[in-house]
Chains A and B, each alone.
Chain A
Amino acid sequence: EVQLLESGGGLVQPGGSLRLSCAASGFSFSSYAMHWVRQAPGKGLEWVSGISRSGGSPYYADSVKGRLTISRDNSKNTLYLQMNTLRAEDTALYYCASDPVDTSMLLRGYFDSWGPGTLVTVSS
Protein backbone atom coordinates (compact mmCIF):
# COMPACT_ATOMS: atom_id res chain seq x y z
CA GLU A 1 0.00 0.00 0.00
CA VAL A 2 1.28 3.42 -0.98
CA GLN A 3 1.84 5.65 2.04
CA LEU A 4 3.08 9.20 2.36
CA LEU A 5 3.45 10.69 5.83
CA GLU A 6 4.42 14.30 6.43
CA SER A 7 5.99 15.58 9.63
CA GLY A 8 7.80 18.64 10.96
CA GLY A 9 4.99 21.17 11.03
CA GLY A 10 4.30 23.43 13.97
CA LEU A 11 4.04 26.98 15.24
CA VAL A 12 6.87 29.31 14.21
CA GLN A 13 7.38 33.07 14.46
CA PRO A 14 7.55 35.24 11.34
CA GLY A 15 11.07 35.10 9.94
CA GLY A 16 11.65 31.66 11.42
CA SER A 17 12.46 28.32 9.84
CA LEU A 18 11.04 24.81 9.69
CA ARG A 19 11.98 21.62 7.90
CA LEU A 20 9.19 19.40 6.68
CA SER A 21 9.71 15.73 5.87
CA CYS A 22 7.62 13.26 3.90
CA ALA A 23 8.33 9.58 4.44
CA ALA A 24 7.29 7.36 1.54
CA SER A 25 6.58 3.64 1.53
CA GLY A 26 4.80 1.03 -0.55
CA PHE A 27 6.13 2.17 -3.93
CA SER A 28 9.37 2.80 -5.77
CA PHE A 29 10.07 6.29 -4.44
CA SER A 30 13.04 6.91 -6.72
CA SER A 31 10.83 6.35 -9.79
CA TYR A 32 8.46 9.21 -8.99
CA ALA A 33 8.69 12.95 -9.16
CA MET A 34 7.48 14.50 -5.92
CA HIS A 35 5.70 17.71 -4.99
CA TRP A 36 4.57 19.87 -2.09
CA VAL A 37 1.06 21.36 -2.24
CA ARG A 38 -0.39 23.60 0.46
CA GLN A 39 -3.84 24.65 1.58
CA ALA A 40 -4.39 27.72 3.73
CA PRO A 41 -7.21 27.40 6.28
CA GLY A 42 -10.55 27.41 4.46
CA LYS A 43 -8.90 28.02 1.10
CA GLY A 44 -8.08 26.10 -2.07
CA LEU A 45 -5.04 24.14 -3.16
CA GLU A 46 -1.75 25.80 -4.13
CA TRP A 47 1.20 23.99 -5.71
CA VAL A 48 4.39 25.00 -3.88
CA SER A 49 7.30 23.03 -5.32
CA GLY A 50 8.26 19.92 -7.25
CA ILE A 51 11.38 17.86 -7.80
CA SER A 52 12.39 15.26 -10.37
CA ARG A 53 12.97 11.66 -9.40
CA SER A 54 16.73 12.17 -9.45
CA GLY A 55 16.53 15.34 -7.37
CA GLY A 56 18.31 17.34 -10.03
CA SER A 57 15.44 19.57 -11.14
CA PRO A 58 13.56 21.53 -8.47
CA TYR A 59 10.81 24.00 -9.34
CA TYR A 60 9.03 26.56 -7.18
CA ALA A 61 6.00 28.80 -7.10
CA ASP A 62 7.00 32.46 -7.31
CA SER A 63 5.49 33.04 -3.87
CA VAL A 64 8.11 30.81 -2.19
CA LYS A 65 11.11 31.09 -4.52
CA GLY A 66 14.28 31.94 -2.59
CA ARG A 67 12.75 31.03 0.77
CA LEU A 68 11.73 27.37 0.43
CA THR A 69 14.01 24.58 -0.79
CA ILE A 70 12.82 21.15 -1.87
CA SER A 71 15.11 18.14 -1.75
CA ARG A 72 14.92 14.37 -1.56
CA ASP A 73 16.98 11.44 -0.30
CA ASN A 74 16.15 8.40 -2.40
CA SER A 75 18.20 6.15 -0.09
CA LYS A 76 15.85 7.09 2.75
CA ASN A 77 12.63 7.31 0.66
CA THR A 78 12.12 10.80 2.04
CA LEU A 79 11.16 14.18 0.60
CA TYR A 80 12.03 17.42 2.37
CA LEU A 81 10.97 21.06 2.35
CA GLN A 82 13.30 23.51 4.07
CA MET A 83 11.30 26.62 4.91
CA ASN A 84 13.16 29.83 5.75
CA THR A 85 12.10 33.42 6.32
CA LEU A 86 8.55 32.29 6.96
CA ARG A 87 5.65 34.71 6.61
CA ALA A 88 2.12 34.72 7.96
CA GLU A 89 0.85 33.89 4.47
CA ASP A 90 2.79 30.61 4.56
CA THR A 91 0.35 29.35 7.21
CA ALA A 92 -1.22 26.25 5.68
CA LEU A 93 -1.58 22.49 5.70
CA TYR A 94 1.32 21.16 3.65
CA TYR A 95 0.80 17.98 1.63
CA CYS A 96 3.38 15.92 -0.17
CA ALA A 97 2.22 14.19 -3.34
CA SER A 98 3.72 11.69 -5.75
CA ASP A 99 3.75 12.11 -9.52
CA PRO A 100 4.39 9.10 -11.80
CA VAL A 101 5.32 11.32 -14.75
CA ASP A 102 8.93 12.50 -14.65
CA THR A 103 9.50 14.82 -17.60
CA SER A 104 11.45 17.94 -18.34
CA MET A 105 10.17 20.76 -16.10
CA LEU A 106 7.93 18.21 -14.38
CA LEU A 107 5.18 18.75 -16.92
CA ARG A 108 2.27 16.55 -18.03
CA GLY A 109 1.95 14.74 -14.71
CA TYR A 110 -0.59 14.35 -11.95
CA PHE A 111 -0.63 13.80 -8.19
CA ASP A 112 -1.63 10.19 -7.74
CA SER A 113 -1.05 9.80 -4.00
CA TRP A 114 -1.15 12.33 -1.17
CA GLY A 115 -0.16 12.32 2.48
CA PRO A 116 -2.51 13.52 5.23
CA GLY A 117 -0.59 16.80 5.56
CA THR A 118 1.31 18.64 8.27
CA LEU A 119 0.16 22.01 9.58
CA VAL A 120 2.48 25.02 9.55
CA THR A 121 1.37 28.07 11.50
CA VAL A 122 3.39 31.28 11.23
CA SER A 123 2.40 33.67 13.97
CA SER A 124 3.91 35.78 16.72
Chain B
Amino acid sequence: DIQMTQSPSSLSASVGDRVTITCRANQNIIKYLNWYQQKPGKAPKLLIYAASSLQSGVPSRFSGRGSDTDFTLTISSLQPEDIATYYCQQSYSTPRTFGQGTKVDIK
Protein backbone atom coordinates (compact mmCIF):
# COMPACT_ATOMS: atom_id res chain seq x y z
CA ASP B 1 0.00 0.00 0.00
CA ILE B 2 1.12 3.57 -0.66
CA GLN B 3 1.74 5.51 2.53
CA MET B 4 0.79 9.18 2.65
CA THR B 5 2.40 11.45 5.24
CA GLN B 6 1.15 14.95 5.95
CA SER B 7 2.94 17.72 7.79
CA PRO B 8 2.37 19.40 10.05
CA SER B 9 -0.23 17.43 12.02
CA SER B 10 -1.68 20.71 13.25
CA LEU B 11 -1.12 24.41 12.88
CA SER B 12 -2.42 27.71 14.17
CA ALA B 13 -2.35 30.79 12.00
CA SER B 14 -3.87 34.24 11.93
CA VAL B 15 -6.65 35.40 9.64
CA GLY B 16 -5.05 36.54 6.39
CA ASP B 17 -1.97 34.35 6.74
CA ARG B 18 -0.69 32.14 3.96
CA VAL B 19 -0.88 28.51 5.06
CA THR B 20 0.83 25.55 3.41
CA ILE B 21 0.28 21.87 4.14
CA THR B 22 2.61 19.23 2.76
CA CYS B 23 1.77 15.68 1.70
CA ARG B 24 4.42 13.12 0.80
CA ALA B 25 3.89 9.71 -0.81
CA ASN B 26 6.34 6.87 -0.26
CA GLN B 27 6.36 6.12 -3.98
CA ASN B 28 5.71 7.99 -7.21
CA ILE B 29 1.99 8.74 -7.67
CA ILE B 30 2.53 11.07 -10.64
CA LYS B 31 -0.27 13.63 -10.17
CA TYR B 32 -2.98 11.44 -8.65
CA LEU B 33 -3.35 13.34 -5.42
CA ASN B 34 -6.54 14.84 -4.03
CA TRP B 35 -7.22 17.19 -1.11
CA TYR B 36 -10.29 17.21 1.13
CA GLN B 37 -11.52 19.58 3.84
CA GLN B 38 -13.47 18.23 6.79
CA LYS B 39 -15.15 20.61 9.19
CA PRO B 40 -16.12 19.34 12.65
CA GLY B 41 -19.18 17.09 12.54
CA LYS B 42 -19.40 17.25 8.76
CA ALA B 43 -18.56 15.02 5.82
CA PRO B 44 -15.36 15.69 3.90
CA LYS B 45 -15.49 18.03 0.92
CA LEU B 46 -13.33 17.83 -2.20
CA LEU B 47 -11.07 20.86 -2.68
CA ILE B 48 -8.42 19.85 -5.21
CA TYR B 49 -8.12 16.86 -7.53
CA ALA B 50 -5.27 15.63 -9.70
CA ALA B 51 -2.82 17.65 -7.61
CA SER B 52 -3.77 21.09 -8.91
CA SER B 53 -7.31 21.18 -10.32
CA LEU B 54 -9.69 23.29 -8.24
CA GLN B 55 -13.08 21.64 -7.68
CA SER B 56 -16.03 23.69 -8.88
CA GLY B 57 -17.30 26.09 -6.23
CA VAL B 58 -14.15 26.02 -4.11
CA PRO B 59 -12.71 29.48 -3.35
CA SER B 60 -9.67 30.44 -5.37
CA ARG B 61 -7.61 31.03 -2.22
CA PHE B 62 -7.12 27.25 -2.20
CA SER B 63 -4.47 25.87 -4.54
CA GLY B 64 -2.52 22.66 -4.99
CA ARG B 65 0.86 21.89 -6.46
CA GLY B 66 3.27 19.04 -6.83
CA SER B 67 4.01 15.82 -8.63
CA ASP B 68 5.64 12.43 -8.13
CA THR B 69 6.00 12.18 -4.34
CA ASP B 70 5.72 15.73 -2.97
CA PHE B 71 2.58 17.83 -2.91
CA THR B 72 1.30 20.97 -1.20
CA LEU B 73 -2.03 22.55 -0.42
CA THR B 74 -1.91 26.32 0.06
CA ILE B 75 -4.51 28.66 1.48
CA SER B 76 -3.40 32.06 0.26
CA SER B 77 -5.28 34.08 2.89
CA LEU B 78 -6.69 32.09 5.80
CA GLN B 79 -10.33 32.81 6.65
CA PRO B 80 -12.27 31.89 9.81
CA GLU B 81 -14.41 29.46 7.80
CA ASP B 82 -11.27 27.50 6.84
CA ILE B 83 -11.01 26.00 10.33
CA ALA B 84 -11.03 22.29 9.52
CA THR B 85 -8.95 19.18 9.15
CA TYR B 86 -7.39 18.70 5.72
CA TYR B 87 -6.60 15.30 4.20
CA CYS B 88 -4.61 14.31 1.16
CA GLN B 89 -5.47 11.07 -0.66
CA GLN B 90 -3.79 9.20 -3.50
CA SER B 91 -5.69 7.53 -6.33
CA TYR B 92 -2.69 6.09 -8.17
CA SER B 93 -3.28 2.62 -6.80
CA THR B 94 -5.78 0.58 -4.84
CA PRO B 95 -6.26 0.78 -1.91
CA ARG B 96 -6.82 4.50 -2.02
CA THR B 97 -4.94 5.81 0.99
CA PHE B 98 -5.29 9.04 2.95
CA GLY B 99 -2.83 11.09 4.90
CA GLN B 100 -3.37 11.30 8.65
CA GLY B 101 -4.80 14.81 8.43
CA THR B 102 -3.72 18.35 9.29
CA LYS B 103 -5.85 20.28 11.74
CA VAL B 104 -5.94 24.01 11.03
CA ASP B 105 -7.20 26.57 13.52
CA ILE B 106 -7.08 30.30 14.06
CA LYS B 107 -4.46 31.81 16.33
Contact = CB atoms under 8 A, between A and B. Distances in A.
A88 interface: no
A112 B91 CA distance: 13
What size tier do the contact residues of chain B reach? 20 to 34
Contacts, number: 63
Contacts of B92: 107-108
B36 A111 contact: yes
A27 interface: no
B55 interface: yes
Interface stretch (B20-28, B67-75, B76-84, B95-103): B95-103
A117 B99 CA distance: 20
B94 A115 contact: no
A45 B95 contact: no
What size tier do the contact residues of chain A reach? 20 to 34
Nearest to B35: A110
Contacts of B43: 95, 114-117
A35 B98 CA distance: 14
A112 B32 contact: no
B32 A44 contact: no
B66 interface: no
A105 B38 CA distance: 26
Interface of A: 35, 37, 44-47, 50, 59, 61-62, 95, 101, 105-117
